[in-house]
Every structure is written in structure tokens, then in C-alpha cells.
Structure 1
């Protein structure tokens, strides 16, 4: 088992406009990427669970050419709105860091 924080080269989040958030998990070698992909752990369902949204609201992409996974999902609070704690969406990747991957 390995945590995303220990095997991913990049794990980041950012705004995809004021109402959506994009999260990227990128690996620096094809072997690790393929192993992670084969587990099926990184999925729309995982992102939905971690970010308390419907799985139907998550646009999930496995990007083989970039050795990356990408998820775009609705923000629970619009960027800059009352109650928003991260206007740029740059700190929202933290829940992903502790995801355990059976590789």
C-alpha cells in the first residue's frame, strides 16, 4: 500500500472557474501510473466521496499520455463567496494526499 503523497509527482487543485474545482494527480513514470490505474481506486466515486458531491457531478479523466488523472467537480462554495476559505482552490487537494493505493 502507498499513499498518493508518496508516489505521485504532482497532486494539486485549482479553480476551473468560480463554480468548479479541478484536481490533478500526476506520476513521473509509466509503470507507477499503470499500477495505480489498474487498482481503480482513483475514480469519480472516490472524488465524490472525498468532496461530498454526487458521482454524477464529477468529470473524471484518466490521461494516459500525461500519466495523469484529472477530476473536475462543483465547488461547495463559489470562489470568493461568503464562507469560501480558499478563493483560488489551491489547497483543496489535501484529502487526496492520504488516499491509500494498493500497489
Structure 2
């Protein structure tokens, strides 16, 4: 079984970034893990778009090497607190990304 992003991270979390956006944060354990998830060949706008069923043009990725952190933001599927909002705090949006298998060098 391949390791996942969650296996390399101290924490993977998601939260509201206002009523119309979600932000996910990948706090990596070390620089080696950061290099893996920060690699645009692994996690890019298209990958995030496919995981969340959104338009890749709306995804914003911020790589912060000094902190070993990658932040990803995209519009919420529905506004926070609206009738169809199933996760008002956006606290569960991180799960598909956290479970993404890390490529191996085999």
C-alpha cells in the first residue's frame, strides 16, 4: 500500500476562507515531505480540480518552503450555511487530498 499525503504530514486540515472559499493546509513533517507535495508534477491545480470536481482555473496553490507548508484554496461548492451546505465549517474537505497516494520511486 502506497503512503499518502497524510502519512508524510504533521497535519492536513481544511477550513473556511470566508463564506465562499475553502482553504486546505498541508503541514509537512520535514523538508523531504514538503518537496514531494510541493512538486507541481504531483499536486497541481488539475489534481485538486479532479479530486473536488471543480474548475482547475479556480484553484490557488501557495507553496511556503520556509514553513514546509502548502496551502490550497478554491471556491466552495455552495455558500457557507446555505441550504445545500453539508459541511458548514469546511472541516472535512481535506480528506480526499490527505488520502492521495504519494508517488513512489519504484
Same fold (TM over 0.5): yes
In the TM superposition, what is the alpha-carbon distance from 1:47 to its structure 2 partner? 1.1
Structure 2 portions without partners, runs of 5+: none
In the TM superposition, what is the alpha-carbon distance from 1:61 to its structure 2 partner? 1.2
Matches within 5 A, 1:83-94: 83-94=84-95
In the TM superposition, what is the alpha-carbon distance from 1:38 to its structure 2 partner? 3.8
- Map Cα deviations across residues 18-41 of structure 1 (whole Å, 9 max, x no partner): 000001111121122123334721
Structure 2 CA distance for aligned equivalents of residues 37 and 72 of structure 1: 14
Give the conservation status (yes or no) of the 8 Å contact 2:63–2:69.
yes
**Equivalent residue for 2:44?**
43
Moved over 6 A (4+): none
Aligned length: 103
**Residues 1:73 and 1:31: Cα distance change in structure 2 (over 3 Å):** same
- CA RMSD, aligned part only? 1.5
Structure 1 CA distance for aligned equivalents of residues 46 and 67 of structure 2: 22
Using the size of structure 1 for normalisation, the TM-score is 0.90
Using the size of structure 2 for normalisation, the TM-score is 0.88
In the TM superposition, what is the alpha-carbon distance from 1:45 to its structure 2 partner? 1.2
Give the conservation status (yes or no) of the 8 Å contact 1:22–1:70.
yes
